[in-house]
Amino acid sequence: MSDTQYIYAVARIRVKEKSLLSDADVRSMAAMKSVKEVLAFLSDKGWGNGETGQTGDDMLAEEEEKTTALMKELKVDPKIFDVLAYPQLYHNLKAAIKENVSTDTPDHLYYAVDGYGEKEMRKIVEDREWKALPEHMQEAAARAFDVLLTNQDGQRCDVIIDRACLDACEKAGRKSKSALLREYEESTVAVTDIKIAVRAQRTGKDLAFLKEALAPCRSLNVQTMAEAASKDEASLMDYLGDHGFTEAAEAMKDSPSAFERWCDNRVIDTIMPQKTNSISADPVVAFYLARENEIRTVRIILTAIANGFTEEDILERVRKMYG
């Protein structure tokens, strides 16, 4: 579909955007005293199926299905969503490898990814049919499986798969015709690299670990950041401040929750310009990402309230809204 053919789809999205949750809505929910109160608030806004007694998980699943159905109705290039599903795809691979190699049988969450859901991914791993996977996964799958089988090194298995996912996202974004997808994937990889560097520094990981885990991207010199993170927190914060990520450094000083919130908000900031774009698929994709963000935020609020978190604690964890 050409850019001009998306004019109708964008017009539909502009109407849908009016129903997105606002920052004020999020603050209101954070102040509520029970999960039931939040669900009633969301139901009044059209969330869920309108039936009483719906659980939070059911309501969120219903909203995810609504968003997927809308994207199909608007005929957005499915290849775009294939790229956006890379994290779920690689997660399924990781879960299947660990289930196959581990002596215990924990319940692993699998995402519904076309062709690579729970049943399909388990069979691929069981049969070692790595060529049945997308090409960008094949080498990492074989390496991660061998590492876990030979050395029982679950952490290195995770690093191999997570790094392959980041590399695939960066490459797909860089080659995409969608300006939004290029910016979104670049921002996602950069922010994830920063997360990895921060966590590695705080857990005392060495330079070799950082070099293997960090994925190259345009926004960061990961070699230099790895060297900074392997020294101490002050060196890492100096690096971030000197390379346009002062807010990340400030959030690190504040709290782990504030830092995680900054990471998610930084990615959401990349889609904000699409509110004034009217001729391309990008505003439609931005809406999809905005919906993912608000569903994730509602899940955070529901979980926090169920666990007795204070309003202040919840507000520290919630994300910026697109609405």
Residues 6 or more apart whose CB falls under 8 angstroms from that of 15 comprise none
pLDDT tens-digit readout, 271-316? 999 988 887 889 999 999 999 999 999 999 999 999 999 999 999 8
CB 75 within 8 A of CB 9: yes
Range of the domain at 239: 177-280
Measured distance CA(239)–CA(249) in Å, rounded: 9
Residue 298 sits in a domain of what CATH number?
1.10.132
State the amino acid at position 30 in one-letter form: A
Same domain? 198 vs 276: yes
Write out pLDDT tens, residues 209-230.
Answer: 999 999 999 999 999 999 999 9
Closest listed residue to residue 189, CA positions, set 164, 207, 216:
216
Together in a domain, 88 and 169 = yes
Is 220 strand, coil or helix?
strand
Residues 285 and 274 in one domain: no
Whether residue 227 is found in the same domain as residue 305? no
For residue 267, give both structure tokens: 């990615």
Residues 236, 224 contacting (CB under 8 angstroms) = no
Q: DSSP label at 20?
A: S
Backbone angles phi, psi at 188, to 5 degrees: -60, -45
Q: Which residue has the tokens 């969330």?
A: 47
pLDDT tens per residue across span 42-59: 999 999 988 888 899 999
249 within 8 A of 241, measured Cβ to Cβ: yes
Per the structure, how many domains does the chain have? 3
Residue 238 and residue 300 in one domain? no
DSSP state, 255?
-
- Pair (276, 181) in one structural domain: yes
Residue matched to tokens 């606002």:
22
**Predicted model pTM:** 0.87
